[in-house]
Amino acid sequence: MSLQIPESDEQLMERIIRRDKPAFGILYDRYSRRLLSYFMRMLWNNRELSEDCLQDLFLKIAKQPELFDTTRLFKPWVYTVANNICKMEYRKAGRKGPSVSIDFVPELRATDPGITERIDKRAFTAKLKEVLTTINEPHRSTFVLRYFEELSLKEISVIHNCSEGTVKSRLFYTLRKIAGKLPQFQHI
Amino acid sequence: MIMSHSAFPDGFEEMIVNKRYHELNAFELKQLSDEHISELEYDQIRNTLLSLGNLEEEMPEPSAGLRDKLLDAFDQKTERKPKVIMFRMWSIAATAAALLIAVLLIIKPYEKEMNKGISQINSSDKENSLVNKEPQAEFKSKNIPMPPEVEDAPKKEELTKEESGTAVMDRNEMGANDVDEKLTKTAAAPIEDVEPAKLSETSVGLYNAAPAITSGTISTTESVNENMVLSSNKSKYTSQSASMKNNIDLLSLTVMVY
Integer-rounded Cα Rg, in Å, for chain A is 18
* C-alpha–C-alpha distance, residues A68 and A81, integer Å: 10
Domain end marker among A74, A103, A132: A103
For B79, the closest chain A residue by CA position comes to A19
Query: What's the confidence (pLDDT) of residue B80?
Result: 53
Q: Where is pLDDT greater, at A8 or B194?
A: A8
Residues A166 and A151 in one domain: yes
Same domain, A80 and A123: no
Q: Is B59 on the interface with A (CB under 8 A)?
A: yes
Instruction: Calculate the average pLDDT of chain B.
Output: 66
CATH number at residue A32: 1.10.1740.10
Asked if the Cβ–Cβ distance from B60 to A187 is below 8 Å, we say no
3-class secondary structure for chain B? CECCHHHCCCHHHHHHHHCCHHHCCHHHHHHHHHCCCCHHHHHHHHHHHHHHHCCECCCCCCCHHHHHHHHHHHHHHHHHHHHHHHHHHHHHHHHHHHHHHHHHHHHHHHHHHHHHHHHHHHHHHHHHHHHHHCCCHHHHHCCCCCCCCCCCCCCCCCCCHHHHHHHHHCCCCCCHHHHHHHHHHHHHCCHHHCCHHHHHHHHHHHCCCHHHCCHHHHHHHHHHHHHHHHHHHHHHHHHHHHHHHHHHHHHHHHHHHC
Statement to judge: residues A122 and A145 lie in one domain: yes
Residues of chain B with C-beta less than 8 angstroms from the C-beta of A148: 1, 3, 55, 57
Q: What is the dihedral of CA A51, A54, A56, A59, to 10 degrees?
A: -120
- Answer for the pair A58, A28: CB distance below 8 angstroms, yes or no: yes
Residues A99 and A115 in one domain: no
A85's CB contacts (< 8 A; 6+ apart) are A39, A53, A56, A57
Separation in Å, CA of B77 to nearest CA in chain A:
6
Are residues A13 and A76 both part of a single domain?
yes
Taken as a whole, chain A contains a residue count of: 188
DSSP reduced 3-state for A139: helix
Please give the sequence-ordered ranges of beta strands (E in DSSP) within A8-127, or none if there are none.
Answer: none
A118: domain CATH number? 1.10.10.10
pLDDT band, residue B55 (cuts 50/70/90): confident
If asked whether residues A163 and A139 sit together in one domain, one would say yes
Is the predicted pLDDT of residue B3 greater than 50, yes or no?
no
The pLDDT, as a whole number, for residue B139 is 54
DSSP 8-state class, residue A185 = -
From B58's Cα to the closest Cα of chain A, the distance in A is 9
Give mean pLDDT, residues A27-44.
92
d(CA B225, CA B191): 14
Q: Per residue in A40-71, pLDDT tens?
A: 989 988 999 999 999 999 999 999 999 999 88
Same domain (yes/no): A48, A67:
yes
**Residue A97 shares a structural domain with residue A150:** no
Could you tell me if B60 and A129 are in contact, meaning their C-beta atoms sit under 8 angstroms apart?
no
Residues A159 and A181 in one domain: yes
Give the residue numbers spanning the domain of A153: 110-188
Domain end among A103, A136, A171:
A103
What's the pLDDT tens digit per position in B98-149? Answer: 999 988 888 777 777 778 877 888 887 776 665 555 555 555 555 666 665 5
Least confident of B78-82, B162-166, B241-245: B162-166
Are residues A4 and A60 located together in one domain of the fold? Answer: yes
Q: What is the ipTM of this complex?
A: 0.78
User: A36 and B60 in contact by Cβ < 8 A?
Assistant: yes
Query: Are residues A68 and A33 part of one domain?
Result: yes
What distance in Å separates the CA atoms of residue A183 and residue B5, rounded to the nearest whole number? Answer: 21
Picking from A68, A103, A138, the residue at the C-terminal end of a domain is: A103
Are A1 and A92 within one domain? yes
Residue A166 has pLDDT above 70, yes or no: yes
Say if CB B137 and CB B220 are below 8 A apart.
no
| Cβ neighbour number for residue B159 with a 10 Å cutoff | 14
Q: Please tell me the total count of domains within chain A.
A: 2
